[in-house]
Amino acid sequence: MTLVSTDWLANNLKKVKILDASWHMPSAGRNAQNEFNEAHIDGAQFFDLDKSSDEKSPLPHMLPDKDKWANIVSNFGISNNDRIVIYDNSDVLSSCRCWYMFIYFGHDINKVLILDGGLKKWQLEKKKLTTKKYEINKTNYQVNELNFLVKNINQIEKNITTKEFNLIDARGANRFKGQEPEPRTGLRSGNIKNSKNIPFGECINKSNNTFKNINELKKIFDSLNNNKKKETVFTCGSGVTACVLAVANFIINGTKPVIYDGSWAEYGIVNKK
């Protein structure tokens, strides 16, 4: 069970730890923290994606070191055995990035859950929201970093020749094809050689932000004609929407998520020609 329904969460609010992992592109002109303060699901805490990443890196949203992650999660009052439900109110389904981070740092994948449809569906159903905040008892969260779930630029470049794994880009088709500029300055347009494209939005029902059913997702992934015996790695602009595809892939076949963390924010600069 990767996805939980809004009804399921409404009936289990006290049995899980809840995180609002909303994050917005700078161009959206929205402040996720302010929106959380104005209204959130009862019991939720705000997960700040920017502050929870490696703030020393020049690249956006790079994974933090394990000590920082342990401190972040401990401050949420989350223990290693807790079931966690993550949601967002974001056009880029940023809850999926938070989901990936928990799995990368060793939380039981079966205990990291995403609210299907997020806050958008919750609000469409007129379910209760609150402004309450609760006192948190800090825990001593233990990290078990799974380094094999992330790829670096050297592995990506090597794979162009060796073709050891499938690489799927979650950016929109026009960005992937280099037909429109990147939203971040200083990046060239285009894609990583031999990569293929599934715009992350193709996996989502626009009406309520839920994931499409497993048969629809299979059809989308099968259209790429990738070698299913090979590992599949996901990339995007900055490592956020790649995780949407990783969730979809997990729904299909239960494969743990593998992400090129630097994504085009790194590759588009380093390989500038």
Residue 131 confidence (pLDDT): 97
pLDDT band at residue 195 using 50, 70 and 90 as cut-offs: very high
Judge if 174 and 99 occupy the same domain.
no
Judge if 212 and 168 occupy the same domain.
yes
Residue 271 confidence (pLDDT): 53
The 10s digit of each residue's pLDDT in 134-164 is 899 999 999 999 999 999 999 999 999 999 9
Within a domain: 102: yes
- The pairing of strands 150-151 and 84-87 is unpaired
Judge if 34 and 103 occupy the same domain.
yes
Domain with residue 17: its CATH number is: 3.40.250.10
Domain count, the chain: 2
CA distances from 28 to 31, 94, 178 (A): 9, 14, 22
Q: Which domain holds residue 92?
A: 3-124
The 10s digit of each residue's pLDDT in 27-57 is 889 999 999 999 999 999 999 999 999 999 9
Measured between alpha carbons, how far is 51 from 35 in angstroms, rounded to an integer? 17
Domain C-terminal end among 91, 124, 157: 124
Measured between alpha carbons, how far is 246 from 186 in angstroms, rounded to an integer? 27
| 246 backbone φψ class: left, alpha, beta (φ>0; ψ -120 to 50) | alpha
Judge if 154 and 89 occupy the same domain.
no
Q: Can you read off the two tokens belonging to residue 174?
A: 């026009």
Q: Can you read off the two tokens belonging to residue 88?
A: 């967002």
Residue 270 confidence (pLDDT): 56
The 10s digit of each residue's pLDDT in 203-234 is 999 999 999 999 999 999 999 999 999 999 99
Alpha helices, DSSP H, located in the chain: 6-11, 32-38, 66-75, 95-104, 118-124, 153-162, 173-176, 214-222, 242-253, 263-270
Per the annotation, the verdict on 203 as an active-site residue is no
